[in-house]
Each structure stands twice: as C-alpha cells, then as structure tokens.
C-alpha cells in the first residue's frame, strides 16, 4: 500500500503521515512545505490552489497495489461576516478545500482504474459542513461541498462496478494551527470566539496524533458503504 496525503507540514496531515510511516507504509506528501524527514516519505512540492500544478502531477509514478488518498490540506479563510469583508477569499478557500481534492480524486481514480489498483479516498471534513457558523461562510460552504463531492464520487464509482472506498471524515475539535488562527480573531468579527478559547483553556482539544490513530482504526473496520463519518464516535 502507498498513502498520498496533502498538507503534511503540520497538524492532522503531519500526524497521519508520521503514524503510517511508523507502521512502515510509504507516504507521498503533497504541499508547499515539508517538515518530515524519513526514508519512506516522498515530498512532492505543489501549490494545491493552482489547478494547473495539480494537473501536472505525475501520479503514475506512485503506482502500488493499493492507494490511500487522504485529502487533508485545507484553509479556514477570512474569519469575518461576509458583508464585512472588503475582498472575500472564497475562491481561494474553494480551490484548496474542494477543487484540489476533486482533481486528485479524478487523477487517482483514472490511474487506479487503468492499472487495476485498489483505491481508498479519505476527505477530511468538519462539523462545519453540517452546521452554519457565522463568520465562516467560505469554510462552511467548502466543507459542505466536500461532503457532497465525496458522496457523489462514491456513487459514481459504484456505477462503474469499482470497489473504491470513500470516506468523508470530521475529526472533531483538534489542536492545530487552524485553531490558533480561530482564537486570534477579535470577538467583534467572530461571535463564537469565546467558545473556542474555552475549548483550549479547558483542555478539550484533541491531539492530531489521536486523530491519526482513530482514522487508522476506522479504516481497519469492514467498509459499510457509509461515506460520512465523525471520529468522535470511533473509540
């Protein structure tokens, strides 16, 4: 098996990559920065907001008997009410959170189909996909779109008679740089700011390493065909 993960420089992506590297699984990391130094880690530098750069990735070089694609890279975008933003960055948020996963799913599905390789796709989602949070318009929209992309892709693979497994996983409230970004926003721009400060101060954030362990356990379970999952329910 070979694992392809986007956004491995920090947070959840780095923890997942290191988790599988410890298990002896080769990892391809895609992103702008790389902080992992391991013999089985292959860094692939790519700006995932650049569609042309993604299209030029030589995914054929990553051929293995089984591919696990984990679309982890994501961005929160500007935390501010939409009508208060001078120049909304929704295009950039959608490019990284939705378009990049779609392009990688397209490329890997085609290569895996051509070479009879098993494919599993994990898209890292959020509770914000199912719950509107004021000042997170772009992020909530992008994660809701990612959920529907995942569901649709799974049904399409079923129509083609393929055994592709697809997961769209909400990890919970995790101690990552994104959480630090959330806490840095003034309450005047983000009404729920105090809640996220409380998560941090009360020790309610889970570690990226715990997310990696729970994801590994989820993927080890028999596949039920259910796409949307919350890691909160995984023991």
- Residues 43 and 37 sit within 8 Å (Cβ to Cβ): no
Dist CA 99 CA 20 (whole Å): 26
Which distant-in-sequence residues (6+ apart) come within 8 Å of 93 by Cβ? 75, 76, 77, 138, 139, 141, 142
Going 29 to 32 to 38 to 40, the CA torsion angle's sign is positive
**Active site (annotated) includes residue 154:** no
Dist CA 18 CA 30 (whole Å): 14
- The residue annotated as part of the active site, out of 41, 139, 154, 167, is 139
Pair of tokens at residue 218: 């989820």
Dist CA 193 CA 62 (whole Å): 42
CA dihedral 98, 104, 109, 110 (to 10 degrees): 120
Pair of tokens at residue 152: 């649709």
> What are the backbone angles phi and psi of residue 3, rounded to the nearest 5°?
-110, 130
What residues pair up with 42 in beta bridges, in sequence order?
28
- Residues 98 and 146 sit within 8 Å (Cβ to Cβ): yes
- Which residues have a catalytic role annotated? 139
């Amino acid at each position: 098996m070979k694992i392809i993960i986007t956004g491995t420089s920090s947070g959840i992506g780095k923890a997942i990559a290191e988790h599988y590297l410890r298990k002896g699984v080769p990892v391809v990391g895609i992103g702008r920065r790389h902080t992992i130094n391991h013999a089985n880690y292959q860094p692939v530098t790519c700006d995932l907001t650049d569609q042309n750069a993604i299209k030029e990735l030589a995914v054929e070089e990553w051929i293995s008997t089984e591919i696990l694609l984990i679309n982890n890279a994501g961005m929160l975008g500007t935390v501010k009410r939409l009508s208060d933003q001078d120049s909304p960055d929704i295009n950039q948020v959608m490019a990284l959170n939705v378009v990049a996963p779609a392009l990688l799913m397209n490329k890997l599905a085609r290569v895996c189909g051509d070479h009879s390789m098993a494919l599993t796709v994990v898209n890292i989602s959020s509770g914000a996909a199912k719950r509107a949070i004021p000042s997170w318009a772009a992020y909530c929209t992008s994660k809701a779109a990612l959920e529907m992309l995942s569901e649709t892709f799974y049904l399409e693979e079923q129509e083609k008679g393929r055994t592709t497994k697809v997961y769209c996983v909400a990890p919970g409230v995790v101690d990552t740089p994104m959480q630090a970004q959330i806490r840095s926003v003034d309450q005047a721009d983000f009404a729920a700011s105090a809640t996220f400060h409380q998560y941090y101060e009360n020790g309610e954030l889970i570690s990226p390493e715990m997310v990696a362990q729970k994801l590994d356990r989820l993927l080890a379970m028999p596949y039920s065909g259910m796409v949307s999952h919350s890691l909160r329910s995984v023991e």
